[in-house]
Amino acid sequence: MEYSSAEILRGVQEKHLLDDGVSVEDVANRTHNYFNQRGELQIPVLDEKRAAEEGRPEYPNGKEFAVCLTHDVDHICPQALKPQIRQLRTTVSNLVDNEARSSLVKSCLRQLYAFSRAAMSSGESASETVSGIDAIRDVERKYNAPSTFFVPPEHSLVESRLDPHISYSTCIEYDGETRPFTEVMKELLKEGVEIGLHPSLGTYRDSSALRTQRERLETVIGSSIESVRHHRLQYDIQSTPSVQAQAGFKYDSSLGIKGDNGFRFGTSYPWKLYDWTDTDTSDVLEIPLVLDEGFLKPGRGGISDATYMSYVDHFIREVKAVSGTLTLLWHPSFFDDGGRVALYESVLERLAEAGAWFTTIGQLGAWWNENVQSPS
Ligand SMILES: [Zn+2]
């Protein structure tokens, strides 16, 4: 089936997939993606036409394309507990997937998860706790690059082993000091870094829970939150734009290919989402995710650093050719063992050489709304 640009940006193709019974989780995988099936997932095929209709963006200071560095903070936990927690999660996952179905076993599993969450939240003994946030910011400061950290709530909507787990009081190393994560978030804000929300599973269709999670984090950091990326990119094109608007968000960056790469909606440009619940354009601007580091991980592709860099080069070429925006995701947990910092530095070096405007999701969104006409 063929779709027009306007239909694609309204999400008609994803709506049809959902109508056909594809789950919201599977819609975020490349298998069902319209552009993947046409061999065009890694090309922003809509952008020349959109540039002609809406105007070609010209970025501040003559920069040739925009880059949003983003980080989903899925876990913060004491370093010493990590091996045990990993082992526990693997064991429990195997049980759930292969054998356990009885209510008794499920009850035991819930208790085990409660234990692991409590253990993670007990990370007050500072010297034991590290976080990739420190390593990430060390690199970004060298390139004068702000970024967006998407932070989960402390309490999930539903108890799920797949949800992020975090305590804002956990102490982590940051900039040569050990301090509670709450203080680190305030420090990040002072540096021009954006804090967005990484809401828990189920909130993609629950505006009240989404608003509560946003307001709680706002209170903790003492600043407003405008941007959101859903955990595991859990998103329903038919309802989530409306849910996010009702919850008070201005910008979303959930529409990428989960753990993978490509232009899920055929475009590198931000666009105003369509609200299917009142059949009108939503106020929420989408800034699509293009490149998730997930496929560097063993078991999820396990590509080499050199192959990842070839993807970076490819997306720089494609996005720069249309003066588009390139949004990258690097999870802080990816840096926990100290590895991959050199790779992240190489990526930023390459982006800077190519003339990138490093900006945050919120800054880019505000700039886009102000300077580039949105489709009607
Ligand atoms: Zn996540």
Question: What are the backbone angles phi and psi of residue 228, rounded to the nearest 5°?
Answer: -145, 140
Cα 192 to middle of ligand 1, angstroms: 22
Cβ atoms of 24 and 231 closer than 8 Å? no
Cα-based angle 38, 236, 33 (whole degrees, multiple of 5): 10
Per-residue pLDDT of the chain (376 residues; tens, 9 = 90+): 899 999 999 999 999 999 999 999 999 999 999 999 999 999 999 999 998 888 889 999 999 999 999 999 998 865 445 555 555 666 666 666 665 556 666 665 665 655 555 555 554 443 445 578 999 999 999 999 999 999 999 988 887 878 887 889 988 889 888 899 999 999 999 999 999 999 999 999 999 999 999 999 999 999 999 999 999 999 999 999 999 999 999 999 999 999 899 999 999 999 999 999 888 889 999 999 999 998 887 777 788 899 999 999 999 999 999 999 999 999 998 887 666 899 999 999 999 999 999 999 999 999 999 998 654 4
Cα 234 to middle of ligand 1, angstroms: 9
The verdict on 48 and 181 lying in the same domain is: yes
The verdict on 83 and 222 lying in the same domain is: no
Cα 74 to middle of ligand 1, angstroms: 5
Q: Looking at the 3D structure of the chain, how many domains does it have? A: 2
The residue segments making up the domain with residue 208 are 5-78+130-371
The verdict on 229 and 358 lying in the same domain is: yes
What SS3 class is residue 168?
coil
The verdict on 153 and 181 lying in the same domain is: yes
The verdict on 87 and 211 lying in the same domain is: no
The verdict on 90 and 210 lying in the same domain is: no
Cα 190 to middle of ligand 1, angstroms: 24
Total-model pTM = 0.88
Cβ atoms of 231 and 199 closer than 8 Å? yes
Q: Is there a domain that residue 70 lies in?
A: yes
Cα 306 to middle of ligand 1, angstroms: 25
The verdict on 71 and 87 lying in the same domain is: no
End-to-end CA distance of the chain: 24
Q: Is there a domain that residue 376 lies in?
A: no
The verdict on 173 and 260 lying in the same domain is: yes
The verdict on 90 and 222 lying in the same domain is: no
The verdict on 222 and 135 lying in the same domain is: yes
Question: What whole-number distance in Å separates Cα of residue 130 and Cα of residue 133?
Answer: 9
Domain boundary residue among 121, 151, 172? 121
Q: Is there a domain that residue 333 lies in?
A: yes
How would you classify residue 355: left for phi > 0, otherwise alpha for psi between -120 and 50, otherwise beta? left
Protein residues near ligand 1, an ion, with CB under 5 A = 72, 74, 231
